[in-house]
């Protein structure tokens, strides 16, 4: 039994910090501390947890002992339009090993979206490693985010064990919460796959072996080669005005970003 809700109190926030360390293996200089979780939650961000209430000693609605996932976002402001607009930057999401691939990541993102829309916030952004096929699948294919910005070595050096010592290159996911495209993807009417309905002008492939290459000393050079090759392709495509519209996995588990003109996706809010 899983309960998804906002985290409450210092102990639940501390449980998020512990899950962060367990997930990324950060050294103390990289860890986001409990106080930052607290402040971001206080100033309009989100700390939403997934609680496995079957865990021994858990309260019926979960507690620090039963936290098995969280998503953290902080408030942001977009300037430049007629008026500044509030949005959320989702900084971290983690699901405990053993609870992954059961839909908890998806549930956390949906809870994030629901809570944001209830407050009138219509955009959530986050960065993700374009070499992480699973994350790209979740972000583009299952949630309907798009991407059109590439950051080279965004965080600088990272102690994250998931980074494999590579530069921290990131794509920016833009999740337009009430757009027709996101609604269609979430309702299953579209699936974030091109499915012959979109004109795809560029495909960028991430080999399934990337996970193995990133995690071993011997594979590191190959992983870096893929990163550098794909970096160039993303940068070229984005400079030509293309965006990541869809993402597919082939039978071998390779991930394929599909890029085309963003104008093909209906980005306007539902019903307008």
Residues that bind ligand COA (CB under 6 A): 23, 92-95, 100-106, 128, 133-135, 137-138, 162, 249, 253
Question: 235, 25, 257: which is closest to 131 by C-alpha?
Answer: 257
Rounded to the nearest whole angstrom, what is the least distance from the CB of residue 65 to ligand COA in the complex? 19
- CB-nearer residue toward ligand COA: 138 or 223: 138
Rounded to the nearest whole angstrom, what is the least distance from the CB of residue 181 to ligand COA in the complex? 18
CA–CA gap between residue 74 and residue 7 (Å, rounded): 14
CA–CA gap between residue 215 and residue 161 (Å, rounded): 8
- CB-nearer residue toward ligand COA: 101 or 187: 101
Rounded to the nearest whole angstrom, what is the least distance from the CB of residue 247 to ligand COA in the complex? 9
Rounded to the nearest whole angstrom, what is the least distance from the CB of residue 160 to ligand COA in the complex? 9
- CB-nearer residue toward ligand COA: 160 or 261: 160
From residue 14, give the alpha-carbon distance in Å to each of 25, 34, 47, 98, 159. 16, 6, 11, 20, 20
From residue 163, give the alpha-carbon distance in Å to each of 159, 166, 167, 168. 8, 6, 8, 7
Question: 224, 238, 89: which is closest to 150 by C-alpha?
Answer: 238
- CB-nearer residue toward ligand COA: 50 or 116: 50
Number of Cβ atoms within 10 Å of the Cβ of 262: 16
- CB-nearer residue toward ligand COA: 9 or 25: 25
Q: Which residue is nearest to ligand COA (CB)?
A: 105
Rounded to the nearest whole angstrom, what is the least distance from the CB of residue 39 to ligand COA in the complex? 19
């Amino acid at each position: 039994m899983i309960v998804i809700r906002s985290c409450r109190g210092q102990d639940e926030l501390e449980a998020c910090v512990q899950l962060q360390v367990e997930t990324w293996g950060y050294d103390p200089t990289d860890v986001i501390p409990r106080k930052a979780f607290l402040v971001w939650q206080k100033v309009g961000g989100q700390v939403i947890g997934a609680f496995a209430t079957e865990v021994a000693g858990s309260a019926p609605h979960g507690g620090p002992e039963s936290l098995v996932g969280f998503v953290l976002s902080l408030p942001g402001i977009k300037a430049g339009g007629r008026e500044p607009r509030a949005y959320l930057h989702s900084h971290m999401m983690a699901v405990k090993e053993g609870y992954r691939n059961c839909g908890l990541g998806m549930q956390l993102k949906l809870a994030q979206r629901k809570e944001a829309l209830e407050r009138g916030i219509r955009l959530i952004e986050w960065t993700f490693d374009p070499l992480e096929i699973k994350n790209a699948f979740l972000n583009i294919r299952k949630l309907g985010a798009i991407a059109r910005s590439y950051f080279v070595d965004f965080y600088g050096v990272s102690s994250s064990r998931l980074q494999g010592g590579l530069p921290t290159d990131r794509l920016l996911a833009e999740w337009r919460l009430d757009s027709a495209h996101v609604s269609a993807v979430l309702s299953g009417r579209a699936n974030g796959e091109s499915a012959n309905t979109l004109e795809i002008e560029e495909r960028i492939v991430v080999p399934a072996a990337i996970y193995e290459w990133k995690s071993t000393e011997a594979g590191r050079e190959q992983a870096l080669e893929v990163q550098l090759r794909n970096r160039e392709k993303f940068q070229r495509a984005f400079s030509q005005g293309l965006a990541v519209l869809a993402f597919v996995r082939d039978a071998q588990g390779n991930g394929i970003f599909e890029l085309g003109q963003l104008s093909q996706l209906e980005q306007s809010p539902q019903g307008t």
